Structure 1
Amino acid sequence: MTRIFKSITVLIVLLLNINKAYSQVTTVVDENGIIRWEPSGEEVKGFGVNYSAPFAHAYRSAEKLGLDIKAEIDKDLYHFSRLNFDLYRLHVWDTEISDAEGNLLENKHLDAFDYLLSELKKRKINFVITPIAYWGNGWPEPDEETPGFSNKYGKEGSLTNPKAIAAQQNYLTQFMNHVNPYTGIAYKNDPNLIAVEISNEPHHRGTPKEVKEFINKLAKAIRDSGSKKPVFYNVTHSVHLADTYFESDIQGGTFQWYPTGLGFKKEIPGNLLPNVNDYNIPFNNAIENNNAAKLVYEFDAADVNKSYIYPAMARSFREAGIQIGTHFAYDPSFLAYANTEYNTHYMNLNYTPHKALGHMIAGEIFHHTKLGEEQGTYPDNLKFGDFLIQYEDDLAVYNSAEKFIYTNSNSEKPEAISELREIAGHGSSEVIEFEGKGAYFLDKLDEGVWRLEVMPDPFLIQDPFGNNSLDKTLAVIKYNLNEMKIDLPGLAGNFEFKQINIPESKDQKAKGGAISVSPGTYILTAAGRDFEIENYKGDFRLKLDNFVAVEESVDRTYVLHEATNAAEANQSLSIDAEIVSNEEVTKAEIWFQNGNIYEAVQMNAENQYDYSAEVPQNLLIPGIFTYRIILETAEEKLTFPGKVSGSPENWDFYSEDVYATRIYDKSSFISLFDASMDADMVVHSWRPGNKIVPLNSIEDEFQVRLDELFSEDIENKNATPIYNYSFRFNFKKKIGARLPGDQKELIIKARNLKSGTEKLQVALLMENGSAFGKVIELGQDLKEIRIKLDELEPVRTVTLPRPYPGFLPYYFEHQNPQDFDLQMIEAIQFSIGPGIERENLQKSHEIGIVNVKLQ
């Protein structure tokens, strides 16, 4: 017994010494509002993600799928390291790890979180922790009955009820004192903990005095644990209390950014760079006057499956003086096939490689651009430092002397190819030609020695932003042997390569720089260069023979193709499709029909997945041109759409599904908007009176009914009124292959739904975000109003969808040329407000729009 007691005593002393030693390395906020490492004084930098596997839906889903949550965490953290992330943030589901009095509960969720933090430390990834979320644990499912104070009091009660506040104080002190059993270090002493954000999005409704007292009580509870960590508070809600926040006992404010809103339920099209041109903080003086720091706790371009936007957001954050940031949220790999956790977000290295690499570049921006330095105004801010952003090609590039990172195929030349040490890419570039669809990474280990890691090929088979379920597969993964050609100094010609994540793989030789690689990890060596993994003494951050990726999930044949909506007679038209199958596709052809004209054309395979065929000119005559794609495998024929066995040549072929494209005469008008078909893709702020109303058997009307143009924002009571309600439709997909060029006028069929007249500004938006429009007058009678295109003048572009937080700029400020180019238009913007007399702005406004045409 005495021996056991002595052992326990020694262990306690050891843990105390460990905590004391670690507590000497910490962070502080200096007199200029900069987070710095102590004792070195170095500026803290960091970029990464939110990731919630230890809690709520993700944890429950792992249990349902029979998975080991810690093993799944390990897989995703490998990808964090692969993407060079060095920061992590999460709002902890306090409702799962506390009781109603705020006592910390030692349970499976806290254990998984402790494990996650310990593994982050091993990978040199720092973290910001938000101990209180105020959420239930259900989303997207119903909430469970949980023991915590948030469940008992709810968010509103937690902000005002004295018993709830006492519970939070108790919880915060216990939380910070908690010793992580995997590290032996208390949270309060963990050197990787940069800052503590008290709570997630509190939404205060109280007086400044009440709010300040609340914040100070919770900040004190954190410090009562002995913690010296900087305390941050969320300041992007109830921003009229900004002075109160920064006069409280905190060292910094936390910010969010959802520039495309949340929950559009489908992918948002168009150039969204105007939405991220500027992160303007109207209360920045309050921050500077109190020497406070700034960090971003969450950001994402929700409902956007593009890569270009994330580096642009990072640029704007750094311009705004924001020091570190974390994206929301990284999809656990075991859930990413279904995107059930947050269906308005979607990001994972294996499933969205282009977006993941966009975040990798964003991380470089956070590390290599000067805090607060202006990078210009759009479009001049798309090339800055070593960074390049292009909407047209969905491209972002980081091109420094030692690193070359790109999100899609490009022709950029490496800044200093002989000095390159790290390449990460998707698609092809001047140094890598690749036929696969996944990301790849090349890291120079020594002269003439590179490590190559190739991720599997992902295929998005459905829009990931809709109503999702674990039973609904949105994306699949394919392992294939793809050709890669490498053109790097020291690896010229017939270099040698070997797959090292599979034991006993054989040495192989490149042919003219070309190799065939399946997903895995390889060592590439110059001809005659010896290299043994066991003897490697370098500082590469990953184990050399590691490889982590989602397993193959293609279990049938998929044809990923969407018909062009419209085309013009006699113009060329190509049919492109991605074909992925668990069988070898031996033949792919298209059967066309337009009226009584029939043709069959074999599709050309550009690689193992990409197929195309030119439509015969004799089919490109006015009419509805239909077609099917027929595939042959060793076992069967399949017809698409519908994946129907057999082909139309069979007597018992029953499917009536076809792809269809409308072929128009060049002189016919171009439909830009039709309420009966396009209303669900209109981007607008919700109003209860907005709806679709049938007018007759062929026409519907998009009705907008507003009680007033401006209403007070409960989250920003001091906002300057903006008397404008705008909504937008991107018609790029609708007009298909038709190219505007000779049209002379815009025709709007619309009316005022009230007595008298109403003014409506109608504007065409170009791809660069510039808007050209005119105010028209609507009467009570439904009629067509014509605007000559040469009457259009520059007008203000509204950033739509409206962002979170709501204090961000309403209008897009740019330096685009003031020249209208009809061939560059992509959207139409309707605005109620411009031209309306001041005394009528706050009256009700009701309009109906049936269609808009270009003729």
Structure 2
Amino acid sequence: MKLLRFLLLPLLLGGLTVSPAQAQRRATQAPAAGVFVDKEGVLRWTDSKREVALFGVNYTAPFAHAYRAHQRVGADVEQAIRQDVYHLARMGVDAFRVHVWDVEITDTLGNLQQNEHLRLLDFLLAELKQRGIKTILTPIAYWNNGYPEPDSGTGFSSIYSKAEAYVNPRAIAAQERYLTQFLNHQNPYTKRLLRDDPDIIAFEVCNEPRYHEPKAQVTDFANRMVRAMRATGLQKPIFYNIAENYPVHEAILDANVDGITFQWYPQGLVSGHELRGNLLPYVDQYPIPYRNDPRFKRRAKMVYEFESADVLQPIMYPLMARSFREAGFQWATQFAYDPLAIAPYNTEYQTHYLNLAYTPAKALSLLIAGKVFREVKRSQPFRRYPADSTFGPFRVSYRQQLSEMNTEEEFYHTNSTRTQPKKPAKLQHVAGVGSSPLVTYGGSGAYFLDRLAAGIWRLEVLPDAVPVRDPFETASLRKAVTYLEWNEQPLTVNLPGLGADFSLRGLNPGNPAQATASGTRLTVRPGVYLLAARGQSTAAFGADTPLGALKLGEFVAPAPTKQPPLLRHQPYAQATAGQPLRLRVLVGGAGPQDSLLLVAQHFYGRTRTLPMTRGAGATAEAEVPAELLYPGLLRYWVVLKRPGQPALTFPGGAEGQPRDWDFFSPQRWEVPVVAAGTPVSLYQPARDQPRTEVRGTENAFSGWADYVTSAPDGALALRLVVPTTKADAGPAAPGPSVSLRAYFADYLTGRASELGGVKELVVKARSNQPAAAVKVALLTKDAAAYAAPLRLSAEWQTIRIPLSRLQPDALLITPRPYPGFLPLQFRPASQPPQLRLSEAEVLQVVVNGPAVGAPIQVDIESVQLQ
């Protein structure tokens, strides 16, 4: 699947849910003999016989692009690993997995090379060990090291392809030689052979192989790799990938392996932009088609990779973790955690983005997901979404963009929440983004509070994270997508036992802060602090005081971003005439002393300069008065004024102001102002390319898309294509073949007052096959789908569908989830209520196949409400 990701990209151009003390206990109490798989396929700790449940990440700093990118930004890779492992421990991660880039540490014969990549892997394993984090390694990755750059690896995977690796005798011999030497390699930092290190609990033979019939050849190869590994004296469980090659999955079930491995990319990969809308149904369950096979039941189950790709919402991971446990998994590791040094740019696989400093809410959702994974019982059944969005101490809300955990001792949240902690007096750990009944915080970074003693807490505050660009666009080390800012922010703390007028003392190096709260309020900058109730002595706590596997004064945060100020803003598609319009921008790189002005103009008519109000989370907003909102074109700019420096005008960041005589930048934002009753635009192909998802369903008649122009006016139209069924594909059953998905909720904001009067959905479209089965659907914030058929002809038609004809229907899960055996459609557990347009947010157009005789072509020029 990763190879597909590499090919698509250029084309598309828990703790501290676990306290430090708990982490130390985990490290010191780890069973020396590791783990074993019992007769029922349950992975258990050897000493206690308790079930294993470990949750964490993949992380690739020693290899490939991550290694090279560290060098380009001037980062010391060893120091970077230390910093990242600290953050992983801070997030409660207790599992690490990586597919080793064998191409960088072998020659073409499979001999292990003692080089910098291997040394850094050894160093990483030693750092993880110190934090109590367990490891499963996948020694063979099966591809070169170039992505997203040219290849430079010289090992055996540089000359043998995946499809060749299991049938070419020389490739097989190279893999046997490499596996033998890799397992017998001694880590110079731990002084352990990799096969004997108790913190490396298992091995997965190879990453995402590519197999085909006959099955016997696949089984023979898997068994041969296992024999080579066992011949070294390895006694740990050996896992094997089964999800990548579903047509030959029985070959792996017949192999002599202890466990089998899966991945999950629930909404595909590499969209090239952020996916928006309610995607929680995509992670509602993970049904495995052969789950009742006795061969499956006696194997341990591992998720080697998962990710909510192209999604920033901090709500996906907890439900993914719950679905994994329901399916019986005991290990799950996200792919891939972004190294801190290059996280500003998200060049480490642009379709993924996760870092504690740069994506704080998403990182805390991973922390909560880890707690879900450890708390939920293996194979515990759940109701289907949305009934499952609250379970045990956990709550997930799409509307609030909130994942939450609330127990007597722990309280975690990914966004501001009004939930009352269960037992405030018993709390030991708190972490959040935003505010809660316990903490009111003005910044946008993550913060952590850990109780050290009665009336004494450790506070850790990370810098503000400002997302200035879509992180899933084409990536570059020359383009930051998130700014970090070290701002002073107001903080109010209401913790039982801390009381009012508590003291604050800085702990991390270079942090001399000392203050006394005014009541329960004070101001903080990024750093680590001791908070102590009035009269409480903190003399026993210093920066070097051990706290489990950590020290109290440990703190990792990058310096403030040194790039020009940047504004992020999405103009409305339309605005209603005669009504004031509130505009909001996100500002990165602006200091607290800087001011912002909105310059609004009705084309070449009246112009108003309006002060913008700075809000929370680096936002600023102003209201355009109704006097400028008469039918026509509103255009506007935002001016950033900085003391002692030239003013900057956005979009574009040009020096000067729009009303200067010599201001020449042509860039501006525009909003069409329309009379009430004008159709509300939902989709226009020319305008909406950056938010359009067109995907096939990976079946025998999977479709694709193109852009064409319509006659006679030459407007751009989106063409959905269903190719003719392949001759060797067998009989093709009707079903979804290709679909359009486009998010439009923000387009409705400027016309919100008129939605109550809308009566029809209006689609301008055509098809070369009038009998083609096409439907249009509106999806709501609750992931309910309302659909109606589109009756098309070969000529352009304007089709008017009364909203009353949109009936509840199955939601097509697109982009297509991976692995391919996962469900393609979702129906809510209960019948959804009647459609309310104010709740609608996503458009879908679905074309069903098969195409007989000639490809089906469906052209869409516009979709509107009227």
TM-score by length of 2: 0.91
Shift of 1:201: 0.3
Q: Does structure 1 conserve the Cα–Cα contact (< 8 Å) formed by 2:502 and 2:516?
A: yes
Shift of 1:759: 3.1
Matches within 5 A, 1:647-686: 647-686=657-696
Given the superposition, is the C-alpha separation of residues 813 and 710 from structure 1 closer, same or farther in structure 2, using an over 3 Å criterion?
farther
From 634, 646, 649, the counterpart of 2:643: 634
Matches within 5 A, 1:147-226: 147-226=154-233
From 734, 747, 760, the counterpart of 1:745: 760
Separation in 2 of the partners of 1:618 and 1:455?
A: 43
Separation in 2 of the partners of 1:634 and 1:272?
A: 44
From 525, 538, 560, the counterpart of 1:531: 538
User: Is 1:759–2:777 an aligned residue pair?
Assistant: no
Q: What residue identity is the alignment partner of 1:703? A: R
User: Is 1:775–2:789 an aligned residue pair?
Assistant: yes
Q: What residue identity is the alignment partner of 2:213? A: G
Number of the residue aligned with 2:146: 138
Give the stretch that moved more between structures: 474-483 or 732-741. 732-741
Q: What secondary structure sits across from 2:567 in the alignment?
A: strand
Q: Does structure 2 conserve the Cα–Cα contact (< 8 Å) formed by 1:320 and 1:372?
A: yes
Q: What secondary structure sits across from 2:86 in the alignment?
A: helix
Gaps of 5+ in 1: 1-20
Q: Does structure 2 conserve the Cα–Cα contact (< 8 Å) formed by 1:202 and 1:237?
A: yes
Separation in 2 of the partners of 1:723 and 1:419?
A: 53
Matches within 5 A, 1:267-278: 267-278=274-285
Separation in 1 of the partners of 2:34 and 2:490?
A: 48
Given the superposition, is the C-alpha separation of residues 797 and 582 from structure 1 closer, same or farther in structure 2, using an over 3 Å criterion?
closer
Number of the residue aligned with 2:742: 729
Number of the residue aligned with 2:606: 597
Number of the residue aligned with 2:269: 262
From 287, 298, 301, the counterpart of 1:280: 287
From 826, 843, 851, the counterpart of 2:862: 851
User: Is 1:616–2:625 an aligned residue pair?
Assistant: yes
Separation in 2 of the partners of 1:597 and 1:359?
A: 50
Number of the residue aligned with 2:20: none
Q: Deviations over 1:781-811 (max 9, x none)?
A: 1111221111222222110110111110010
Number of the residue aligned with 2:340: 333
Given the superposition, is the C-alpha separation of residues 24 and 433 from structure 1 closer, same or farther in structure 2, using an over 3 Å criterion?
closer
Q: Deviations over 1:424-451 (max 9, x none)?
A: 1111111111111111111000110000
User: Is 1:693–2:708 an aligned residue pair?
Assistant: yes
Given the superposition, is the C-alpha separation of residues 309 and 88 from structure 1 closer, same or farther in structure 2, using an over 3 Å criterion?
same
Separation in 1 of the partners of 2:750 and 2:77?
A: 48
Q: What secondary structure sits across from 2:151 in the alignment?
A: coil
Q: Deviations over 1:753-778 (max 9, x none)?
A: 24x54331122212212111122321
Shift of 1:393: 2.0
Given the superposition, is the C-alpha separation of residues 489 and 841 from structure 1 closer, same or farther in structure 2, using an over 3 Å criterion?
farther
Number of the residue aligned with 2:370: 363
Q: What residue identity is the alignment partner of 1:762? A: V
From 491, 502, 522, the counterpart of 2:498: 491
Separation in 1 of the partners of 2:740 and 2:567?
A: 34
Identity of aligned residues (%): 38
Given the superposition, is the C-alpha separation of residues 711 and 407 from structure 1 closer, same or farther in structure 2, using an over 3 Å criterion?
farther
User: Is 1:566–2:574 an aligned residue pair?
Assistant: yes
From 828, 840, 845, the counterpart of 1:814: 828
Q: Deviations over 1:172-200 (max 9, x none)?
A: 12111111111111111111112211000
Shift of 1:816: 4.0
Q: What secondary structure sits across from 1:172 in the alignment?
A: helix
Q: What secondary structure sits across from 1:284 in the alignment?
A: coil
Given the superposition, is the C-alpha separation of residues 58 and 712 from structure 1 closer, same or farther in structure 2, using an over 3 Å criterion?
farther
TM-score by length of 1: 0.93
Q: Does structure 2 conserve the Cα–Cα contact (< 8 Å) formed by 1:77 and 1:120?
A: yes
Given the superposition, is the C-alpha separation of residues 638 and 711 from structure 1 closer, same or farther in structure 2, using an over 3 Å criterion?
farther
Gaps of 5+ in 2: 1-28, 697-701
Q: Deviations over 1:274-328 (max 9, x none)?
A: 1111111111123665511111111111111111111111111111111111001
From 93, 104, 108, the counterpart of 1:100: 108
Q: Does structure 1 conserve the Cα–Cα contact (< 8 Å) formed by 2:813 and 2:824?
A: yes
Shift of 1:24: 4.8
Q: What residue identity is the alignment partner of 2:666? A: E
Number of the residue aligned with 2:485: 478
Given the superposition, is the C-alpha separation of residues 314 and 632 from structure 1 closer, same or farther in structure 2, using an over 3 Å criterion?
same
Q: What residue identity is the alignment partner of 1:57? A: H
CA RMSD of aligned residues (A): 2.3
Given the superposition, is the C-alpha separation of residues 46 and 669 from structure 1 closer, same or farther in structure 2, using an over 3 Å criterion?
same
Separation in 1 of the partners of 2:389 and 2:855?
A: 41
Q: Does structure 2 conserve the Cα–Cα contact (< 8 Å) formed by 1:23 and 1:189?
A: no
Given the superposition, is the C-alpha separation of residues 506 and 52 from structure 1 closer, same or farther in structure 2, using an over 3 Å criterion?
closer
Shift of 1:561: 2.7
Q: What secondary structure sits across from 1:303 in the alignment?
A: coil
Separation in 1 of the partners of 2:545 and 2:743?
A: 55
User: Is 1:37–2:49 an aligned residue pair?
Assistant: no
Given the superposition, is the C-alpha separation of residues 799 and 504 from structure 1 closer, same or farther in structure 2, using an over 3 Å criterion?
closer
Matches within 5 A, 1:500-539: 500-502=507-509, 505-534=512-541, 539=547
Number of the residue aligned with 1:314: 321
Separation in 1 of the partners of 2:184 and 2:621?
A: 62
Q: Does structure 2 conserve the Cα–Cα contact (< 8 Å) formed by 1:495 and 1:527?
A: yes
Q: Does structure 2 conserve the Cα–Cα contact (< 8 Å) formed by 1:758 and 1:779?
A: no
Separation in 2 of the partners of 1:548 and 1:734?
A: 40
Q: Does structure 2 conserve the Cα–Cα contact (< 8 Å) formed by 1:134 and 1:200?
A: yes
Number of the residue aligned with 2:18: none
Shift of 1:205: 1.4
Q: What secondary structure sits across from 1:189 in the alignment?
A: coil
Shift of 1:60: 1.6
Give the stretch that moved more between structures: 76-85 or 529-538. 529-538
Q: Deviations over 1:23-53 (max 9, x none)?
A: 9522101112111111221111111110000
Q: Deviations over 1:696-731 (max 9, x none)?
A: 555122112212479989xxx999984543332222
Given the superposition, is the C-alpha separation of residues 707 and 593 from structure 1 closer, same or farther in structure 2, using an over 3 Å criterion?
same
Q: Does structure 2 conserve the Cα–Cα contact (< 8 Å) formed by 1:298 and 1:327?
A: yes
Q: Does structure 1 conserve the Cα–Cα contact (< 8 Å) formed by 2:808 and 2:832?
A: yes
Given the superposition, is the C-alpha separation of residues 401 and 287 from structure 1 closer, same or farther in structure 2, using an over 3 Å criterion?
farther
From 794, 801, 818, the counterpart of 1:804: 818
Q: Does structure 1 conserve the Cα–Cα contact (< 8 Å) formed by 2:273 and 2:690?
A: no
Matches within 5 A, 1:547-586: 547-581=555-589, 583-586=591-594
Shift of 1:623: 2.2
Counting matched residue pairs gives: 826
Number of the residue aligned with 2:120: 112
Number of the residue aligned with 1:7: none
Number of the residue aligned with 1:439: 446
Shift of 1:544: 0.2
Shift of 1:365: 0.6
Shift of 1:616: 1.4
User: Is 1:792–2:806 an aligned residue pair?
Assistant: yes
Q: Deviations over 1:193-239 (max 9, x none)?
A: 12211000002113111111000000111111111111111111111
Number of the residue aligned with 2:80: 72
Separation in 2 of the partners of 1:52 and 1:722?
A: 40
Shift of 1:407: 0.9
Separation in 1 of the partners of 2:411 and 2:511?
A: 32
Q: Deviations over 1:493-529 (max 9, x none)?
A: 1100011113572531001211111110000000000
Q: What secondary structure sits across from 1:497 in the alignment?
A: strand
Separation in 2 of the partners of 1:776 and 1:320?
A: 38
From 688, 700, 723, the counterpart of 1:707: 723
Q: Does structure 2 conserve the Cα–Cα contact (< 8 Å) formed by 1:404 and 1:420?
A: yes
Number of the residue aligned with 1:824: 839
